Structure 1
Amino acid sequence: MKAKSLKLLLCTCSIFTIIALVGCTANESTKGIEDSEVASTTKTSADDENIATNVFPKDEVIDVKITIDEEDFQSMLDNASAEEMMTASVNYNGVQLDNVGIRTKGNLSLRSVVSMEDSERYSFKLSFDEYISSQTFFGISKINLNNSYSDASYMREYLAYELAEEMGLPTPGYSFVNIYINDELWGFYLAVQQIDDQYLQSNFGNSYGALYKADMSGSGNDLAWIDDNIESYSGLLQKSELSNDDILVDMINELNNGSDYEKYLDVEEALKFIALNVLTNNSDSYLGGNKHNYYLYEDDGVFSILPWDYNMAFGGMGSMGSSSLLIDEPTQGNLVDRPLVAKLLAVDEYKEMYHDILQQATEGYLLSSTFSERVEELSTMISTYVEKDPTAFNTFDEYQNSVTELVTINDTQVSSIDQQLAGTIASSGDGSGSGGGMGMGGGRNRGMGEGRGEFDIPAMAGVNEQTSPTALDTQGASSIPTQGAPSAPADGNTPSQGEQGFPADIPEDMPAYFEAGGFPGGGMGGERPEGMGGGFGGFGERSNQPQGSVKEAITAGIALVIMLLSGMFITFYKRKKL
């Protein structure tokens, strides 16, 4: 009896010992999680500070010096449409990075420059992690160098992103840069960060949610309900390794057929997104015929709408800040065909919030005196660089005229919005949208100076104001710190016109080209989508998602089972007497 009691005591002690060990393991895992989160936050904060100071400073023009083999560079220019990646070294504002990928980029802007006989002013993409998967520039793996196509003022995109920041919208980094290639001044450009994991980490505190990009060549980019099959929404391209397609379909279903919009959508952010495009009269957006230039990011089941690509803002599509733009019916085409606008503005509370957002902007950043002063400040900062730009699309006189016109466009737009908010003129119509006021208009420099005759683009001729605009630059993204996780290289290829398909109303002499890339990554048909480096679909390990806790729990569980079985064996095994 005494021996049996000792055995039971031994078994009990063993069980309590295992429980204690499991508790210690859990505590260590929790501590590891907390330490990982602190380290991630600290690193993100440090990267953000470096990015603001060294990568995208707002109070100066920085130099980007690219060194590339002369033959490779000439081949890239001669075959610009291929968007072939080449190897280069880059000195970015004094920071040297070697083995960097560089290629031409763009859609309409790229093809238009290809058609010019006397210009090779292409936009470029720098891919820091193209050949060294762990290499980034303060967490950024790709930067776009935009050529200010169709913007003689050089300011549209800069001002639109600055307004977006002022409104509290998630915004990529951006700054003016002077580009040198092989020690020769190439041109004055705008650098823009891709939507990458550094951007997501900075704005959302994580980078592991599902990311989708609106694509004008597919269906569903208008966010209208089709059915519950994710494949029906080909215009919402998955750009992340993680796919929360069920939640995406649920969000679209709720937006169209339900009323609890806040369950799946950051409504305030969506209203700001709509307002941004209205305030800048940007028809090259969700509001326009192409229904593109935005991302959807899912964070804990709730989607945020991320603004993207604003080189056609402030009437760049030819609307000239038209007073015909209706703030409560700002779509090109029927309002009902843009459920994000139609459904949200049908709720009185949301419409009031939306009107408040508009008013804050027209009485703040876009107020005539404030806006003109800001434009003058930027003009003072960049004029010398514009005047010396050896590859400029426009003359310096045209630049000066377009800066003046930019202020006039804003004044006209703000006056119309203020009157609509006050109720002195109509803010909505019969549901058919704002029509021609959001149209494409004429040539490349519409509303921004006449432009040099030799750069007038025949493909733009004869396109009326109702024509849906062609695709503009689309960009992918990626980022990982210099010491970050690896990623697979992007091929940089672009599908042919026949592979992609085009809107029926685009003239034959103005084909709409679509970039297939986007973000690199696994989960995307095997290819690393353009620009997403090593994290999602190429994005590296999620820095703020600790690893190892599951493995530790399994190990502890197995040990517990073994000890329990051992205790039972000791307790109940009958030894034979000798």
Structure 2
Amino acid sequence: MKKLSTLFILLVCFSLFNACSEDDITTTTEETVDTTDTSSDDAYVETYSDTDFDTVDWTDATHSKSADPDIEEIFEDEAVKRLDIVITAERWQAMLDDMTSLYGDFGTSTSGGGPGGGGLVETDEDPIFVPAEVFYEDKEWYKVGVRFKGNSSLQSTWSNGNLKLSFKLDFDEFEDEYPQIDNQRFYGFKKLSLKNNYNDKSMIREKVATDIFRDFGVASSHAGFYTVYVDHGDGPVYFGVYTLVEEVDDTVIDTQFSDNDGNLYKPDGNGASFAEGSFSESVFVKKTNEDEADYSDIESVFAALHSETRTTDPAAWRESLERIFDTDTFLKYLAVNTVIQNWDTYGRMTHNYFLYNNPDTAVLSWIPWDNNEALQTGNMQGSLALDFSDLNATEWPLIGYLYQDEVYQAQYDGYVQDVVNTVFNASLMQPKYATYATLIAPYATAEVSGYTFLNSSSDFQAAINELNSHVELRVSAVSNYLE
């Protein structure tokens, strides 16, 4: 049974034992931001009664599972495309009510919000999916699963009274309820993320960073710029500029690896640091092969990484580690991530990466994820120094122990130089920033209060200026580090 139906049953049971109901709650930040009526008396029950429809826009190229992912169409580099999401008023209200049950009333932040801020609610539950129509280039996709997505960014945006929330789209989530959409795809994609560019007033960091990783030979999601309009009963409402991001467990492992049948993990929690003794199956969340309770590949990385041969026989240690972990890809990732800077990932935070065990190689490869905080010094303790002098090696041994090894350190240093030579320097990045700024400025500055992270339209250009300065500073930092 779907989560929403389960919630309703619980609410009904509760009402049998409680004669009093809470007053209706009405919360708004602007006239256009309405999250009214979260009373349990009017809780929405999903019946999936709207099954009488024809999929008149369906074609093999646009809707069928048989189509290859059309990356050029969906992630066009120099375009801002438009997505329209149409949700019934009842389903939209159910989504808002569910958010209230997870995170409290809309717009009632007491912690000041912001990335890494305190006062966040701990929950393992995802927001509910509801069926919605998605429109793109005059074509309709039917009964698409739509939900809000994110962790601290979702909660902070919600509690700060901002409806520019990230979405996850799953194009055949409801195929059991609506047989007409069996194996529905969006130009070959089953799942996509619409990210709201949280804490990024330039609105381009997510795309720029993931492109840099991929250009440097690290598997990473494709991304593109989109304007998003949501019609939840009263016509389309402009939700702002989003970054559409390819899902790792959908097409990234399918198109960027030779075999997509291996174990894919999305670690989250203390054990994701790889500190000695911290392994826990619950931390290494499986995104493929979920029914197979086999974590031996991850456990092998822990064993090899913490072997005493690291100090007694480094060559044997490296050989053992490389049998299960793709150190070359990790060092490439590490060089890019440390040069461009990103505090919200491994080395500071125990999340925002995937590990994929390609059956053809039988080694785990690192895949970066969630790059909206990249290309800046960052929050919390800030981004890591190029020499990792601010890192506790035992707490973050994948960085600390590899950097302490003279062979791996030399390899990392070479990649750091390659990064600024080939994918990240002022002559490459500043024209790209200018192109993207010109491209999205009309849409970014058209965002409205209640659906934006900008305090004024000038914030957008100021953020672009910061990116231009940042790349110059980072190239200089690399020069100082390597001299």
TM-score between the two structures when normalised by the length of structure 2 = 0.71
Task: Determine which of 233, 247, 266 is the counterpart of 2:297.
Answer: 247
Looking at structure 2, the residues matched to 79 and 234 of structure 1 have their Cα atoms a distance apart, in angstroms, of: 25
Q: SS at 1:169's partner residue? A: coil
Alignment of 1:33-48 (within 5 A): 47-48=68-69
Residue identity in the other structure for 2:192: I
Is 1:102 aligned to residue 151 of structure 2? no
Task: Determine which of 282, 291, 311 is the counterpart of 1:234.
Answer: 282
Shift of 1:92: 3.0
Looking at structure 1, the residues matched to 411 and 66 of structure 2 have their Cα atoms a distance apart, in angstroms, of: 31
Is 1:209 aligned to residue 262 of structure 2? yes
**Counterpart contact for 2:65–2:183, Cα < 8 Å:** no
Q: Which has the larger radius of gyration?
A: 1
Looking at structure 2, the residues matched to 134 and 330 of structure 1 have their Cα atoms a distance apart, in angstroms, of: 50
CA change 1:292–1:412 in 2 (3 A) is: same
Looking at structure 2, the residues matched to 93 and 307 of structure 1 have their Cα atoms a distance apart, in angstroms, of: 30
Looking at structure 2, the residues matched to 319 and 418 of structure 1 have their Cα atoms a distance apart, in angstroms, of: 26
1:124 corresponds to = 167
TM-score between the two structures when normalised by the length of structure 1 = 0.60
Looking at structure 1, the residues matched to 229 and 381 of structure 2 have their Cα atoms a distance apart, in angstroms, of: 34
Q: What do residues 202-234 of structure 1 show as CA deviations (whole Å, max 9, x unaligned)? A: 111222101111102xx321123328xx6x353
Alignment of 1:340-489 (within 5 A): 340-390=398-448, 391-394=451-454, 395-422=456-483
Q: What do residues 99-157 of structure 1 show as CA deviations (whole Å, max 9, x unaligned)? A: 1011111111211122224x211111111121015222233221111111111111111
Shift of 1:402: 1.1
Residue identity in the other structure for 2:223: Y
Q: SS at 2:394's partner residue? A: helix
Task: Determine which of 190, 196, 201 is the counterpart of 2:249.
Answer: 196
Higher relative contact order (CA 8 A, sep 6+): 1
Task: Determine which of 220, 224, 230 is the counterpart of 1:181.
Answer: 230
Is 1:306 aligned to residue 357 of structure 2? no
CA change 1:44–1:68 in 2 (3 A) is: closer
1:256 corresponds to = 306
Shift of 1:244: 4.0
**Counterpart contact for 1:101–1:129, Cα < 8 Å:** yes
Task: Determine which of 368, 387, 402 is the counterpart of 1:328.
Answer: 387
1:495 corresponds to = none
2:184 corresponds to = 135
CA change 1:154–1:373 in 2 (3 A) is: same
2:341 corresponds to = 281
Looking at structure 1, the residues matched to 434 and 214 of structure 2 have their Cα atoms a distance apart, in angstroms, of: 19
Shift of 1:309: 0.6
CA change 1:45–1:131 in 2 (3 A) is: closer
Q: What do residues 136-183 of structure 1 show as CA deviations (whole Å, max 9, x unaligned)? A: 223322111111111111111111111111111111121000112223
CA change 1:247–1:78 in 2 (3 A) is: closer
1:14 corresponds to = none
2:272 corresponds to = 221
CA change 1:399–1:98 in 2 (3 A) is: same
Shift of 1:198: 2.3
Counting aligned pairs with the same residue, the percent is 29
Looking at structure 2, the residues matched to 320 and 414 of structure 1 have their Cα atoms a distance apart, in angstroms, of: 21
Q: SS at 1:129's partner residue? A: coil
Shift of 1:280: 2.1
Looking at structure 1, the residues matched to 469 and 380 of structure 2 have their Cα atoms a distance apart, in angstroms, of: 13
**Counterpart contact for 1:143–1:194, Cα < 8 Å:** yes
2:21 corresponds to = none
Task: Determine which of 54, 74, 87 is the counterpart of 1:55.
Answer: 74
Task: Determine which of 75, 88, 108 is the counterpart of 1:69.
Answer: 88
Q: SS at 2:186's partner residue? A: coil
Residue identity in the other structure for 2:80: V
2:397 corresponds to = 339
Structure 1 stretches lacking a partner, 5+ long: 1-42, 423-578
Looking at structure 1, the residues matched to 358 and 72 of structure 2 have their Cα atoms a distance apart, in angstroms, of: 28
**Counterpart contact for 2:196–2:241, Cα < 8 Å:** yes
Q: What do residues 527-569 of structure 1 show as CA deviations (whole Å, max 9, x unaligned)? A: xxxxxxxxxxxxxxxxxxxxxxxxxxxxxxxxxxxxxxxxxxx
CA change 1:247–1:113 in 2 (3 A) is: closer
CA change 1:335–1:93 in 2 (3 A) is: farther
Q: What do residues 46-71 of structure 1 show as CA deviations (whole Å, max 9, x unaligned)? A: 624x2x22211112111111111123
CA change 1:78–1:187 in 2 (3 A) is: farther
Looking at structure 1, the residues matched to 66 and 337 of structure 2 have their Cα atoms a distance apart, in angstroms, of: 30
Looking at structure 2, the residues matched to 377 and 141 of structure 1 have their Cα atoms a distance apart, in angstroms, of: 30
Looking at structure 1, the residues matched to 281 and 387 of structure 2 have their Cα atoms a distance apart, in angstroms, of: 26
CA change 1:297–1:63 in 2 (3 A) is: same
CA change 1:279–1:321 in 2 (3 A) is: farther
**Counterpart contact for 1:64–1:177, Cα < 8 Å:** yes
Alignment of 1:163-174 (within 5 A): 163-174=212-223
**Counterpart contact for 1:314–1:321, Cα < 8 Å:** no
CA change 1:397–1:221 in 2 (3 A) is: same
Looking at structure 1, the residues matched to 411 and 139 of structure 2 have their Cα atoms a distance apart, in angstroms, of: 44
**Counterpart contact for 1:65–1:90, Cα < 8 Å:** yes
Measured on the aligned residues, the alpha-carbon RMSD in Å equals 2.4
2:109 corresponds to = none
**Counterpart contact for 1:294–1:306, Cα < 8 Å:** yes
CA change 1:53–1:338 in 2 (3 A) is: same
Q: What do residues 73-101 of structure 1 show as CA deviations (whole Å, max 9, x unaligned)? A: 24423543542211101113444210101
Shift of 1:45: 11
Shift of 1:335: 2.1
Q: What do residues 4-25 of structure 1 show as CA deviations (whole Å, max 9, x unaligned)? A: xxxxxxxxxxxxxxxxxxxxxx
2:211 corresponds to = 162
Residue identity in the other structure for 1:255: L
CA change 1:103–1:342 in 2 (3 A) is: same
CA change 1:330–1:198 in 2 (3 A) is: farther
Looking at structure 2, the residues matched to 320 and 372 of structure 1 have their Cα atoms a distance apart, in angstroms, of: 27
Q: SS at 1:283's partner residue? A: coil
Structure 2 stretches lacking a partner, 5+ long: 1-63, 103-126, 176-181, 310-316
Q: What do residues 469-493 of structure 1 show as CA deviations (whole Å, max 9, x unaligned)? A: xxxxxxxxxxxxxxxxxxxxxxxxx
CA change 1:44–1:269 in 2 (3 A) is: farther
2:355 corresponds to = 296
Q: SS at 2:239's partner residue? A: strand
Looking at structure 1, the residues matched to 466 and 342 of structure 2 have their Cα atoms a distance apart, in angstroms, of: 16
| Aligned positions, number | 368
